[in-house]
Structure formats: structure tokens, C-alpha cells
Amino acid sequence: MAICLVCNGMSQIDYICQTCHIRTVDFGKIMDYEDSYKPYEEIEVAKVANGIEYDREEQLCPHYMICPSCSSSFVYQVKEQ
Ligand SMILES: [Zn+2]
Ligand SMILES: [Zn+2]
């Protein structure tokens, strides 16, 4: 069974904000917010162009990444392994 190494604490997302050139902070898996955290829908989420299309069969784990400097939010798709 595929697992997300980031969710399991075995890896970290290394995504740099293109504007500030600093490392963004992982705010966790998007699914965790869907039911209980509706305010997050108001954040404009820009899809990170990392060459991976969203596809459930590919077992991707979408994480919210927030830049601590400019507060931009991104979705980073972690490939489960
Ligand atoms: Zn994950
Ligand atoms: Zn930034």
C-alpha cells in the first residue's frame, strides 16, 4: 500500500517560494482540512507546476504549502510510495 512519506514524517517537502526564494512551510494534507476547516477554501491556491497531474490512481497526496514571508499558498502533490 502506498503511503505519503511526508505525512508519515519520513520526508519533507522542499518547495521554494518563487517570489521570496525561501522555503515554504508544510501545512499538512489538504484532505485534513476539507471537513473541519472551510476557511481554507478562501485562500487562493495556486497549483504548483511540478509536472504531476492530479490523479487518484497515481496516489498523490496534496499538501498545503504556505510561504511564511508573502503568505502565498501552494498545493504540492507528494507522490505516495
Ligand atoms: Zn501527505
Ligand atoms: Zn513568498
For residue 1, the tally of other CB atoms under 10 A from its CB is: 4
Q: 6 C-alpha vs ligand 2 centroid, how far in Å? A: 21
pLDDT confidence of 48, banded at 50, 70, 90?
A: low
What is the CA 37 to chain-centroid distance, rounded? 15
Q: Which ligand is nearest to the CA of 63?
A: 1
Residue 34's domain spans which residues?
1-81
pLDDT of residue 2: 87
> Is the whole model's pTM more than 0.75, yes or no?
no
pLDDT of residue 43: 47
Mean pLDDT of the region 25-30: 92
Q: 54 C-alpha vs ligand 1 centroid, how far in Å? A: 14
Count of structural domains, the chain: 1
pLDDT of residue 34: 54
* Pairwise CA distance, residues 32 & 81, whole Å: 19
